[in-house]
Structure 1
Amino acid sequence: MIPNWLLQRAYLTPHKIALSFGDEKWTFVQLKDRALTLARKLSANDLNEGDRIALLGPSNAEMVFVIHACMLAGLEIVMLNSRLTEKEIAWQLDDSGASAVLVFDGLENNVAQSNVQTLLFSKVKESAEEPIELQEQWESDRTLTIMYTSGTTGFPKGVRQTVGNHVSSALSSVLNLGLAEDDVWLCAMPLFHISGFSILARSVLYGMEVRLYEKFDAIQAAKEIQTGTVTRMSVVALTLDKILRELEKKDAVAHLSFKTMLAGGGPVPVDYLDRAQNRKIPVLQTYGMTETSSQTATLAASDAIRKIGSAGKPLFFNQIKIKDANNAGDKGEVLIRGPHVTPGYIGRFIELDPLEDGWLPTGDIGYFDEEGYLYIVDRRADLIISGGENIYPAEIENVLAAHPGILEVGVCGQEHAEWGSVPIAFIVASGSLEVDELTAFCEERLARYKVPKVFRFVDQLPRNASNKLLRRELKEWTGLK
């Protein structure tokens, strides 16, 4: 049994700041009161303990209140991605079997193609309240959230995350990162994503303030990091680069109180890590996925420079191994097990066991060095095999990201009659660049077979709501003229 997160936190530290958004702040007891009122209103709309509902809304303070209200009401929450198309959302709603979808006003058109009962947030706010029986203790295996994978290898899977999954993830993280009384976590990740939701979970478990942004703002984030109003932040490579550019414009460094820039969503170019060091930002690469309720491995702060580029070691309760690897440096699929791993899926994949012989296959390629530090090379599905040679797109992206004229880069394979597949690079440039210049830049740093055979200049790269590069869309672009 695990204490009801918000009830226990509001009892322990009622007057500590829980959430700030814009110029407003709420303590944990105020957060509990707001959430409890909404939970009673949800009950008045016939949403009761054990029901599965879907939630579609922005990453603002009201969304936080609604998420906690749903948990207090005992609902399973299907977290919907507001950036999906109507068709994609309709598919997930149908697959999930949700009894209703709670939608923030202005987003109702996103669910227009679904037959699931739609409940507007404005209607909930205007509703009467009905008493609910609060569960002061939660079963560890209770499904709390359901998040759909991005569907890189087929239909999206609805991943169950239990109370125990989230708690294990949060405890493992704090054992690695530590906790201070003045910690404030800047959350610019979408709340429907595991990285965003996990920050909310840590908040109530740790008694830590969340500084919430509705959308990522590089200028404001850099300012807060510089002035010391936040102490930790979660980013992906793209958002890290944008924050660094803002600090570099002013030749500014992070405040002494800033402890952690947690970087996930794929390998971070070494050039970015070097630049972050110059800005006094400790970047800790982390590795995790929806099926592992966020982090599985994270680099310790003490190893940030010595093991630059590594995702660290497995967190305390977790285990990782490399499939068919016998020696340090052997590359293979990353396998994971631990209490943070999902118990299974819903919908069309409900019968699919996520584990093979007790381990979760991740689809990622990685290796351990001689000291047991994990390095993630790339997605197995993104591997380019050219003339029998394995080429990892992230390695090429890492090199090109260091070019001063490149803002963003994405690499994928393009079919080739002779070699089977060859690398092609999509470039977002800061100014005018010549293909010959980029080819020469790569030839100095990469084996010839790894040098992109084509460079395409684009205005932007395809990314998901967490700014993670979508290479499957890049592959579709390779067929465009």
Structure 2
Amino acid sequence: MPDPVVLAFEERTYRRSELAALTDGLATELAARGVRAGRRVALMSSNRPEFVAALFAVWQLGASVVLLSPAWKRAEVAAALALTEPQHAVGDQPVLAELMPMRHLDEPITPGAPASAVTPAGDTPADDTEAVLVFSSGTTGLPKAVRHTHGSFRAAVGHWRTVLELGEGDRLQIVTPPTHILGLLNIVTVLDAGGWLRLHRRFDIDAMLRHIESDGITVEMAVAPIALAIASHPDLESFDLSSLRYLMWCATPVTVSVAEEVTRRTGVGWTTAYGASELPVLACNDLRDGPLDTVGRAAPGVRLRVVSLEDGTVLPAGETGEIQAQSESLMTGYLPAEATPAALDDGWYRTGDVGHLDDRGYLRITDRAKEMIKVRGFQVAPAEIEAVLHGHPAVSDCAVFGVPHPADGESVVAAVATNQNVPAEELISLVGDTLASYKRPTEIVFVPEIPRLPSGKVLRRVLKERHGCTSDN
């Protein structure tokens, strides 16, 4: 049976049998510690091969994984543990070890017997058993734990593999956190497809570009901060990126000017995808010529609809409302459980995103429902204003939010990070000359950087708090 190299980390590579043997060895050790079917295991780890082994080892024992972000501080970890109640812990973060007994991933793993399994996942767990709990991004308050069964997560892996057209010849690298749904989905899908994977301990733009060239990476995932780093790299043309089939923009709507700048400088095209922790793959664009201002069509096995923000009625093509989805990859529910009903509408997942479907089924996202700014009764989408500001050469990043206004309801404020001096009036005029007058910012706040989650989502709540206003949005 072929035994290809499937994983690389720093200078080390792992054949499929080696990864399976590490998984088996760690599963044996965890079983001796009491991990078994029906238990939950907290996993808080940086990007490393032992994370992959731990993930599959827990699944092999019929237990489920609670993924904790390695960026979290003690209070955040403690809250997540109280919510999910794992009985065991594995990881490489001291904060987790302070809160409960932890099997440290820096300790060596004794490999199991030479593995004959085709994949390191071992036996296939039943579809209805709990597989993983990932935390929602928490842009609007405390994050919730999203529960996926093996059936729902396997469906998501199948959808991702299909829309990306991944096969044995594909090579990806993971620079985003493995504890986020995108990082987890990429790792499992590449291994499921028989492809090759490089893990990076942390994001470094030069290392990422070098490895596209040296490893022959075929698909590169880029959340917004990564896309911005690529576009602004002064020596981008010095890297050979010709092995790439495409660049994938994930997690946030595309900033078209940034994507076009990368393509102009490298010749590599982009495609777009749309997903959520609750339903990991909603839509994906055509890999060859999909329009960048859309996130594509519904993934095979996924149904999309748009409903009125006012009364919830289903809207025809072209009309803007909340995006909803149905799929076998939908989460089982949240923890706390009482948060689940509000996320569903008669079996449809309420994304909270605002957009419309055109008559060809292409989905365009305009903004988050809770992030829409209401100015004199008009709905203002922050993303629309951000796209205009990103077109100014002095703007390196930006985020728009609303603040209370006694007469207008809300007014528009733009937080802007720049790479050179630019008058606020110039940026305000740019928006006013491009968009309707009510979308013009009343204030520009210059900031060193825009606070974002690892997924690239803007923490507007943080910007509002810094501005001196409190909001549930």
- Give TM-score scaled by structure 2 length: 0.90
Taking the aligned partners of 2:289 and 2:221, their CA distance within structure 1 comes to 18
Contact 2:73 2:95 in 1 (8 A): no
Is the aligned partner of 1:46 residue 2:34? yes
Q: Sort the Cα spacing of 1:463 and 1:90 in 2 relative to 1 into closer, same or farther, 3 A.
A: same
Taking the aligned partners of 1:291 and 1:254, their CA distance within structure 2 comes to 37
Is the aligned partner of 1:380 residue 2:369? yes
Out of 64, 67, 86, which is 2:74 matched to? 86
Aligned position for 2:203: 216
Taking the aligned partners of 2:218 and 2:295, their CA distance within structure 1 comes to 21
Q: Sort the Cα spacing of 1:227 and 1:245 in 2 relative to 1 into closer, same or farther, 3 A.
A: farther
Q: Sort the Cα spacing of 1:413 and 1:351 in 2 relative to 1 into closer, same or farther, 3 A.
A: closer
Taking the aligned partners of 2:399 and 2:451, their CA distance within structure 1 comes to 9
Is the aligned partner of 1:67 residue 2:55? yes
Out of 283, 290, 298, which is 2:284 matched to? 298
- Summarize the alignment of residues 290-369 of structure 1 with structure 2, pairs less than 5 Å apart: 290-292=277-279, 294-304=280-290, 307-323=291-307, 324-349=313-338, 352=341, 354-369=343-358
Once the 2 structures are TM-superposed, how far is the Cα of residue 228 of structure 1 from its aligned partner?
Answer: 6.2
Q: Sort the Cα spacing of 1:245 and 1:154 in 2 relative to 1 into closer, same or farther, 3 A.
A: closer
RMSD: 2.4
Contact 2:375 2:410 in 1 (8 A): yes
Once the 2 structures are TM-superposed, how far is the Cα of residue 252 of structure 1 from its aligned partner?
Answer: 5.0
Q: Sort the Cα spacing of 1:167 and 1:270 in 2 relative to 1 into closer, same or farther, 3 A.
A: same
The one-character-per-residue Cα deviations of 1:304-328 (angstroms, maximum 9, x if unpaired) are 3xx2210000111111100135332
Out of 82, 86, 102, which is 2:90 matched to? 102
- Summarize the alignment of residues 26-175 of structure 1 with structure 2, pairs less than 5 Å apart: 26-104=14-92, 107-109=93-95, 112=98, 114=99, 117-121=100-104, 125=108, 136-175=123-162
Contact 1:311 1:376 in 2 (8 A): yes
Contact 1:333 1:380 in 2 (8 A): yes
Is the aligned partner of 1:430 residue 2:430? no
Contact 2:130 2:147 in 1 (8 A): yes
- Summarize the alignment of residues 396-475 of structure 1 with structure 2, pairs less than 5 Å apart: 396-475=385-464
The one-character-per-residue Cα deviations of 1:231-277 (angstroms, maximum 9, x if unpaired) are 1122112211211222x634357633311322121111111222233
Once the 2 structures are TM-superposed, how far is the Cα of residue 380 of structure 1 from its aligned partner?
Answer: 0.5
Aligned position for 1:9: none
Once the 2 structures are TM-superposed, how far is the Cα of residue 388 of structure 1 from its aligned partner?
Answer: 0.7
Out of 237, 240, 250, which is 1:264 matched to? 250
Q: Give the residue type in structure 1 aligned to 2:428.
A: T
Taking the aligned partners of 2:190 and 2:236, their CA distance within structure 1 comes to 32
Quick one: percent identity of the two aligned structures? 26
Q: Sort the Cα spacing of 1:63 and 1:101 in 2 relative to 1 into closer, same or farther, 3 A.
A: same
Deviates most, 202-211 or 170-179: 170-179
Taking the aligned partners of 1:99 and 1:395, their CA distance within structure 2 comes to 46
Contact 1:185 1:211 in 2 (8 A): yes
Q: Sort the Cα spacing of 1:462 and 1:350 in 2 relative to 1 into closer, same or farther, 3 A.
A: closer
Once the 2 structures are TM-superposed, how far is the Cα of residue 453 of structure 1 from its aligned partner?
Answer: 1.1
Taking the aligned partners of 2:89 and 2:381, their CA distance within structure 1 comes to 40
Once the 2 structures are TM-superposed, how far is the Cα of residue 355 of structure 1 from its aligned partner?
Answer: 2.8
Q: Give the residue type in structure 1 aligned to 2:79.
A: W
Once the 2 structures are TM-superposed, how far is the Cα of residue 204 of structure 1 from its aligned partner?
Answer: 2.4
Deviates most, 189-198 or 345-354: 345-354
Contact 2:322 2:369 in 1 (8 A): yes
Once the 2 structures are TM-superposed, how far is the Cα of residue 182 of structure 1 from its aligned partner?
Answer: 2.3
Q: Give the residue type in structure 2 aligned to 1:364.
A: D
Taking the aligned partners of 1:298 and 1:414, their CA distance within structure 2 comes to 34
Taking the aligned partners of 2:201 and 2:457, their CA distance within structure 1 comes to 17
Aligned position for 1:242: 229
Once the 2 structures are TM-superposed, how far is the Cα of residue 73 of structure 1 from its aligned partner?
Answer: 2.5
Deviates most, 295-304 or 120-129: 120-129
Contact 1:72 1:135 in 2 (8 A): yes
Aligned position for 1:24: 12
Deviates most, 68-77 or 174-183: 174-183
Q: Give the residue type in structure 2 aligned to 1:204.
A: L
The one-character-per-residue Cα deviations of 1:53-84 (angstroms, maximum 9, x if unpaired) are 11111112222222222222222100001222
Once the 2 structures are TM-superposed, how far is the Cα of residue 354 of structure 1 from its aligned partner?
Answer: 4.5
Q: Sort the Cα spacing of 1:69 and 1:217 in 2 relative to 1 into closer, same or farther, 3 A.
A: same
Out of 368, 389, 392, which is 2:381 matched to? 392
Contact 2:222 2:247 in 1 (8 A): yes
Q: Give the secondary structure class of the aligned counterpart of 2:354.
A: strand
Q: Give the residue type in structure 2 aligned to 1:108.
A: P
Aligned position for 1:207: 194
Q: Give the secondary structure class of the aligned counterpart of 2:278.
A: helix
Q: Give the residue type in structure 2 aligned to 1:79.
A: L
Q: Give the residue type in structure 2 aligned to 1:242.
A: A
Q: Give the secondary structure class of the aligned counterpart of 1:238.
A: helix
Q: Give the residue type in structure 2 aligned to 1:436.
A: E
Contact 1:95 1:347 in 2 (8 A): yes
Aligned position for 1:6: none
Q: Sort the Cα spacing of 1:354 and 1:393 in 2 relative to 1 into closer, same or farther, 3 A.
A: closer
Q: Give the secondary structure class of the aligned counterpart of 2:345.
A: coil
Taking the aligned partners of 2:77 and 2:463, their CA distance within structure 1 comes to 22
Q: Give the secondary structure class of the aligned counterpart of 1:251.
A: helix
Q: Sort the Cα spacing of 1:228 and 1:42 in 2 relative to 1 into closer, same or farther, 3 A.
A: closer
Out of 252, 263, 273, which is 2:259 matched to? 273
Query: Which ranges of structure 1 fall in alignment gaps of 5 or more residues?
Result: 1-11
The one-character-per-residue Cα deviations of 1:156-195 (angstroms, maximum 9, x if unpaired) are 2211112222222222223222234321012111000000
Taking the aligned partners of 2:319 and 2:420, their CA distance within structure 1 comes to 40
Q: Give the secondary structure class of the aligned counterpart of 1:198.
A: helix
Taking the aligned partners of 1:50 and 1:230, their CA distance within structure 2 comes to 38
Q: Give the residue type in structure 2 aligned to 1:178.
A: E
Taking the aligned partners of 1:123 and 1:203, their CA distance within structure 2 comes to 25
Taking the aligned partners of 1:453 and 1:468, their CA distance within structure 2 comes to 23
Deviates most, 428-437 or 194-203: 428-437
Deviates most, 190-199 or 69-78: 69-78
Q: Sort the Cα spacing of 1:462 and 1:335 in 2 relative to 1 into closer, same or farther, 3 A.
A: same
How many pairs align? 456
Q: Give the secondary structure class of the aligned counterpart of 2:351.
A: strand
Q: Give the secondary structure class of the aligned counterpart of 2:275.
A: strand
Q: Give the residue type in structure 1 aligned to 2:405.
A: H
Q: Give the residue type in structure 2 aligned to 1:274.
A: E
Contact 2:168 2:196 in 1 (8 A): no
Taking the aligned partners of 2:38 and 2:110, their CA distance within structure 1 comes to 21
Contact 2:205 2:229 in 1 (8 A): yes
